[in-house]
Structure 1
Amino acid sequence: MSPSAPAVTWLGADPSVLDDAALLTGARELGELRRLVEASLGVFAAEVKHRSRREDGFGGLAQRLGAGTPEKLVEQVSGVSKRESQTLVRVGQLLTVDADPWLAAVGAGVASGEVSVVKADVIKNGLGAPTENVAADDLADAAQELARLAPTMSVEKLAARARELRDELDAENVRDRHRAMRDKRYWYMRRRSDGMTHIDALLDPESAEPYWAAYDAATSPRRGGPRFVDSESKERAKKIVNDERTLGQIALDTFVDLLRIATETDPNKLLGAKRYAVRVLVTDRDLRERTGAAFLGNHPDGVPLEIADRHICDTGIVPIHFTDDGEPLRLGTTKRLFTAKQRDALAARDGGCRFTECDRPASWCEAHHRIPWKEGGPTDTRDGVLLCRHHHMLVHDNGWAIDRDPVHGFVAIPPRTVDPAQRPIPMPARSRAAARLRR
């Protein structure tokens, strides 16, 4: 499994001085060299795995060196990513004496440099293991076909072909395998320290299909879409090709628009009784004086006032103006329960549970009457305050009270059992727009 001498000579070569034939020869031979290096690294990774057996406990190689897992140790010593180290360990095992016999052709392809580590991994994952319905010999035949296709087939197509062959061999369990894929689906969102939001998702085939259809429709002209189209489609394609946004930005903007449009059609059908809308929070003072910033929902980072101007009357947006005394809306009502519009106003002003040190968001909160309803308290945003369920129960069941203070606004009054002096505890709003009024 030693690299050929010509391939090594390309290391450090200057491709700008090569003619076309030499350039492509160098790329091809360096690709082969890379595959051979990865195959060797995979063998090393598999041995690291072997010397880090679970039964060895802290005496195993990875545990002894403080890496925790063999994959983490491979990642540390070889400088590859976490995903690459995991792949190297899995595929490296195809080149050991303990390799699965039905994948022998794939292991041979990796060892010869014909099959890359990544392609070997998708073959292994796609074919799976023998079962009562699938014999090892049948899997071996499928693996041999895939090993033959691997050098000229893309990773994505090879993975699809591997799954297809498995389905052909085990048609009775297609439903179970698709159910297993669906069980892996997820969608996570997290707010990064720089103010951006990161989305990480894994979609099963059925869930992913609408996304692919929308993505293709929005971006295909940039990616070499159909040339023979009517004049209207041709003009639209031309605009997309000439768009200054990146391909990823076009895709993101498209999905945001689709989400906005979908939630405007019949929000109750998709999102239940709670109406979905983006809230644009801005103070009247900032709009008048053109200072400061507006805020989207409870996102902590301000956006330019021009965005508030643009969205304030837009469909699907709830504009909330904070008056100079800090109240977003005064909607006195004879009804006991706060309306959806009032709850939007409370969420905009409070930003979440107002109880000190509580971090529960507005969506987890209940609207509390500062003056109890039974004592004639109005269902008005001036006397309503958002509390999470825990603190709402604390107020009602444990003798706490909510009052207003000219300096702090809402304050919590503890019972004498907690503080004999019953000193008011400030309940500052978490809304960034409301906070500007306190400056």
Structure 2
Amino acid sequence: MESEPVSLIITPTTDTPVTAVMTQVQEILIDVMAELQSHLLSDDDVLGSLGAMEGIGRLVDAGRVALAADVDARSDTRTQNESLARTRGCATGTDLITMVTRVSAREAKRRVRLGAKTRITQVVGATLPARFPVVAAALTAGIIGVDAAEQIVTGLTDLPSFLAPDAVDAAERGLVASATGTITAENEGLPNAGFAFPADLIRGQVLQWKALLDPDGTAPAEGTVMAARSTVGFGPFRDGLYPLRGGVTPELRGVMNGIFDTYLSAHSQPVPAEPGRFPTAEEQATHEAEEQVRIDAGEVIPGADQLEALDTRTGGEKRADILRGVFDAAARDAGTPKLGGAAPLVMVHVNATDLLDGTGVGWADGVEAPLSISTVQRLVCAGGMQKIVFADDAGEIVAFDLKQRFFSSGQRKAIIARDGGCIIPGCTSPPGWAELHHVLPWRHGGTTTVNNGVALCWYHHSTIETSGWQIRILNGAVQIKAPPWLGLGRDWLPANQHRAHTTLGR
């Protein structure tokens, strides 16, 4: 795309020269954006334009950070005789910033935090340099972005005060060099020196510098050691999810990774073998022969390994399901503390008509977001229900069913002993995580008995109505039929069962 060159003619007024200049720059950018047709650019031009636009954005961001920090400082009644915010009818500097810029309070505070550490401070009779002058200079020059600057400033601010200033300064110079791709004394001769790293990778380099400067990772405070602690909380409900907020220590991250990796890689080993090597051809042949014996005995459905390819969950979704199983198992564990004399329960309330018709929603105690009716039906299937009848007019309880429709602990033990865990072939979910499923749903007359219950993991239980798997129990034995689209035949075959029942190898 060809266009006329843009010339910048600055004619500032005497009253507000800087504002006038910025207004002219803004008008030029408006004209550029009006002419920009990125879909018509070549590959090289679109990438070049992206880099150039980002450079402009970095300069603009640096100005926004500096100005926001200055407005906030002028609004601080502790350092100013008269608060700028209050003279403009605002309570705080953040309020004034949001009124002028229309950004969120969160974004305004973000700019102020970074600007406070990268601005020159004017005090009575003296000018104090920025706390992080190298980051400040890089921001002003537009060669580092706000996100990378935040990573550096936040990470180095957390360092203990007893460290030598020269060491912290070296870390700042080295990190800015990594973010900008410059060569300094701190990185000369090192691998990747001169390469500009994205902000996400700068975060990891900040951690490396902190580990180098402060190996213990803690600072003594009043005779105690202040160590980081894991914390977990929930954000406001949005887009069907409660976002998790918090953080975990490296130790807990390692524990969690161990659990996740164990189950995510459950099918990764083709044949049991010594660590670090794959099976020999002879071992593979022996394994295949044993598998054929199990197939002939009806203990394994042929092609069950194809199930893994049918699992469309992302890695994050799988980890969430694993975490759910861990919490479910903990809730059922005898050692888990009781609440009101009972084990932890999820109490869900739903209108009886909605439950029978498959419409409406349910509500869990302590959770403001509704549950889908399919989720409620699955919870009823696994955890049971108790019917309570209310008067139509005043909501008075007029009757409640003493009979609770849920599998007892004894029934659960019996079903797990028979099934050994989830009955879907190829599923390696631990037996302790299994939910109990009514083969004939209770709403269709099914009973809560061992001969009408099977073990399913949460994932297969939540998809059993749509996945196409069929289940039946004949003479106390569980049988399953694979979905037609799986291409495994349409015969009823024995489901997974507890390994104590197998005769293979006896």
TM-score between both structures, scaled by the size of structure 1: 0.57
Supply the AA of the counterpart residue of 2:176.
A
Match in the other structure for 1:142? 171
Contact conserved, 2:74 with 2:80, CA < 8 A, in 1?
no
Secondary structure class of the residue paired with 1:46 = helix
Supply the AA of the counterpart residue of 1:69.
T
99-108 vs 180-189, which moves further: 180-189
2: distance between equivalents of 1:329 and 1:71? 57
Deviations 1:261-280 (A, max 9, x none): 4423x153366764012234
Secondary structure class of the residue paired with 1:134 = coil
- Unpaired runs of 5+ residues, structure 2, are 1-17, 122-127, 181-195, 272-302, 391-397, 405-506
Structure 1 residue 85: Cα displacement: 1.8
Supply the AA of the counterpart residue of 1:329.
L
Match in the other structure for 1:187? 233
2:372 equivalent to 1:326: no
How many percent of aligned residue pairs carry the same amino acid? 19
Match in the other structure for 1:16? 39
2: distance between equivalents of 1:91 and 1:83? 13
Choose the corresponding residue for 2:246, options 175, 191, 202. 202
2: distance between equivalents of 1:302 and 1:83? 28
Contact conserved, 2:119 with 2:130, CA < 8 A, in 1?
no
Distance change >3 Å, CA 105–CA 233, structure 1 → 2? farther
Summarize the alignment of residues 273-312 of structure 1 with structure 2, pairs less than 5 Å apart: 274-281=342-349, 295-297=363-365, 306-312=374-380
2:101 equivalent to 1:83: no
Summarize the alignment of residues 245-394 of structure 1 with structure 2, pairs less than 5 Å apart: 252-264=320-332, 266=333, 268-269=335-336, 274-281=342-349, 295-297=363-365, 306-314=374-382, 317-322=383-388, 325-329=398-402
Contact conserved, 1:181 with 1:204, CA < 8 A, in 2?
no
Secondary structure class of the residue paired with 1:11 = helix
Distance change >3 Å, CA 95–CA 234, structure 1 → 2? farther
Contact conserved, 1:102 with 1:137, CA < 8 A, in 2?
no
Deviations 1:162-198 (A, max 9, x none): 2331332233553769975735834246678x9x673
Deviations 1:313-372 (A, max 9, x none): 41xx252223684214279xxxxxxxxxxxxxxxxxxxxxxxxxxxxxxxxxxxxxxxxx
Distance change >3 Å, CA 15–CA 328, structure 1 → 2? same
Secondary structure class of the residue paired with 1:201 = strand
Secondary structure class of the residue paired with 1:198 = coil
Match in the other structure for 2:215? 171
Contact conserved, 1:282 with 1:321, CA < 8 A, in 2?
no
Higher-helix-fraction structure: 1
Contact conserved, 1:126 with 1:166, CA < 8 A, in 2?
yes
Structure 1 residue 84: Cα displacement: 2.6
2: distance between equivalents of 1:96 and 1:191? 37
2: distance between equivalents of 1:281 and 1:126? 46
Secondary structure class of the residue paired with 1:269 = coil
Secondary structure class of the residue paired with 2:399 = coil
98-107 vs 177-186, which moves further: 177-186
- Unpaired runs of 5+ residues, structure 1, are 221-227, 332-439
2: distance between equivalents of 1:136 and 1:19? 49
1: distance between equivalents of 2:133 and 2:326? 47
Match in the other structure for 2:200? 156
2: distance between equivalents of 1:274 and 1:189? 28
TM-score between both structures, scaled by the size of structure 2: 0.50
Choose the corresponding residue for 1:72, options 95, 99, 102. 95
Contact conserved, 2:364 with 2:371, CA < 8 A, in 1?
yes
Distance change >3 Å, CA 254–CA 179, structure 1 → 2? farther
1: distance between equivalents of 2:198 and 2:245? 23
Deviations 1:128-185 (A, max 9, x none): 2776631211111110000011133233332232233133223355376997573583
Contact conserved, 2:58 with 2:146, CA < 8 A, in 1?
yes
Contact conserved, 1:45 with 1:88, CA < 8 A, in 2?
yes
Contact conserved, 1:43 with 1:92, CA < 8 A, in 2?
yes
Secondary structure class of the residue paired with 1:326 = strand
Structure 1 residue 101: Cα displacement: 5.4
Distance change >3 Å, CA 139–CA 275, structure 1 → 2? same
